[in-house]
Amino acid sequence: MSSPTLYVLDANVFIQAAKGYYAFDLAPKFWQQLVAYGAAGSLCTVDRIAAEINYPAELRTWVDSEFRPYVRDTDSTDTLAHYATLMQWAQGQTFTPAARQEFATVPDAWLIAYAKGVGGTVVTHETFDANRRNRVKIPNARQFLGVLVVDTYGMLRSLAQILIQRFDVLRQQCAKHVC
């Protein structure tokens, strides 16, 4: 079995889930699974992303009380170096000055830089747009550093597949030992 991917979640993954298809009252197991996958070392977010999650209030409370152990700091040497590389890259692109300034102040570049430093995959709902000049999107910027990106469903499918593989291994081991 290949080594599992570390998924590094963007704020929109949490916010869109809480406001819609995985609302806390509709799908509490989704939120429990995020914590379980965080505890297993399969997913996390970064401090700057967590800090930007303020709405809905129930989500802010959940991040602070349940997900806090899986919020990673962005102050490592690797993350800082990758962040600086991304800033240089953005300055050399045809983005508007306002887009470059925004990219330097929002947590997106930190998310990508952290994922690069740990060999992780970014999870976001943003999509690639080669023609966009008024905003630096995560899928565009991550491409420069070679960081993989998936959406929530891609992450969940992958995590479910890993879980199935682990069950298969356990079942085989159990069959050999007549559990």
- CATH code for the domain in which residue 36 is found: 3.40.50.1010
What is the count of structural domains for the chain?
Answer: 1
Structural domain contains residue 107:
yes
DSSP states of 53-66 as a string? --SSHHHHHHIIII
Structural domain contains residue 115:
yes
pTM score, whole prediction: 0.87
Mean pLDDT (the chain) is 90
Structural domain contains residue 2:
no
CA distances from 141 to 70, 124, 130 (A): 24, 13, 10
State the residue range of the domain holding 128: 7-177
Instruction: Classify strands 71-72 and 121-123 as parallel, antiparallel or unpaired.
Output: unpaired
Q: What distance lies between CA 111 and its chain's CA centroid?
A: 7
Structural domain contains residue 1:
no
> What pLDDT band is residue 2 in, cutting at 50, 70 and 90?
very low
Tell me the pLDDT tens digit for each residue of 99-128: 999 999 999 999 999 999 999 999 999 998
Tell me the pLDDT tens digit for each residue of 20-67: 989 999 999 999 999 999 999 999 999 999 999 999 999 999 999 999
- Tell me the percentage of the chain whose pLDDT exceeds 70: 87
Token representation of residue 113: 């830089």
Structural domain contains residue 44:
yes
Structural domain contains residue 26:
yes
Q: Which of 1, 5, 4, 2 is nearest to 115 (CA)?
A: 5
> What is the model's pLDDT at position 167?
44
Token representation of residue 102: 């925004």
